A and B are shown apart, each in its own frame.
Chain A
Amino acid sequence: MTVDMMAVREPDTIASDVLDAELGIEGLRFEPNVARPLSSERGWFDMKVNSSPGPLVSDFVTHGPHFEYSTLGIHVGQDDRLTFFEEPGRWIEGYFVDCREGSATLHRRIVRRFEASPLRRLVIPRGVAHTFDGLSGVTTRDEPVWYSGENNPHWNINNDLISVLRTAETFPVVQVNDFRLPEALHVYMTQLSQAVLDEPKPYSTRFKLRIGDREQYVMFQENSWEDEGRALQPLLDAVQAPGFSARRSRYAITGKASWTLVPNTGSGVADVMHLGAVGVDAPERLFVHRRTRKWYTVLTGEGAPLRIDCLDLRPDSATFGQRASFMTVCEPRVSYRIEPGVAYAFGVALGVYIRSENEVYVDEDEPRLDLPAFGRDFEAVDATGFSATQPVPPTLKCPDRVVRSMARFELEPQPH
């Protein structure tokens, strides 16, 4: 048990319906997310949480059983924007210390208690030390905003986190970076981290130590967590069908059975969908996208039964009309890739949050009137009987910037 000098403070509770609030340190606040209910089509998602306005890049951190932090972390070149995903009733305590050089609230310490909610995000400015209790089973989405700096000894681009033990009695004063990266460099950075994490890597901590006669930062990379968690390969092998495949997510290991997922697609855009407890019986309806390759990653409910049904509706496919059903488990290290023209449905006995990523396709001969319009690429089909006449999916993949433009368009107010 950690002896935590901050835990003795009585936390202020933030009511669950408060989406927009300042929290007591300059820049530390809740902001409302862009979230909306979806169609009530049975078996389909009931809510979508869009990427937030900004650089439109994100990563997701899962927290295994008995997860606990014994350090606070300080970013030098990154504002965090965190959304906490879990079913209602999960309370979290956040601990914050302002460590920014020149800040009017330097070394102010606060504790806030709040409920996990998809409807708001917590903004933590760079230079504010933070840690949390109560995250076991919760998945956090971070939509970082990155900054660079010149001659800043506190910044390490390879590991932008200074760790401070929760038992520390004093906190450092940190110079933060000033120059916000252009959007193109946010995309570059997220693509680079995807490439680096082609194979999973353990994360590391960085502490300031005195070695001999000088102070310096030292990074510690623990290698004993690599084999934690359930065996992955059987889960990948078990779910393979024409146009529907299970693939290993790209991730870093952040603790015992805890992972940081980076995007699967080059655009870096990821929305989050909520799938209600629709059950694991055979579905009545399946859902198909004609222009979109979908990537789904189940973020919460790890280990819970997950039913997957799919049906190949690509008329040019040798397996046209072939249907497959699988029983597997929710596992964030597995992503499901679904080709355009392949219908599918997921079934779970408890509500879960699912990351959704898109790659969009276009035909050489557009407009294709037999395909749905861009941005409305969704159809429900009967699970047992389907038309023998199906459109051939397009095969030209749009550049990543098209997906980013579509995501940005979706954030704009739509006419009713």
Chain B
Amino acid sequence: MTSEPALVCGRCERPLQLGKVAVTYLGNRFPVELLRCPVCGMVYVPEELALGKMLQVEQALEDK
């Protein structure tokens, strides 16, 4: 697990903050807390999440 980088939004130049985001897949919608730009709302998905929990949920939903 790599340590969380200190990211800023490329446009708004603001550090990211945790915020509520909706993720959707195959007609399912889940609220999650993710790092995002407090101004424009652009969301960051770290590699560990994409290839870990997110992939698990994707596969579980595909088998529904």
Chains A and B bind each other: no
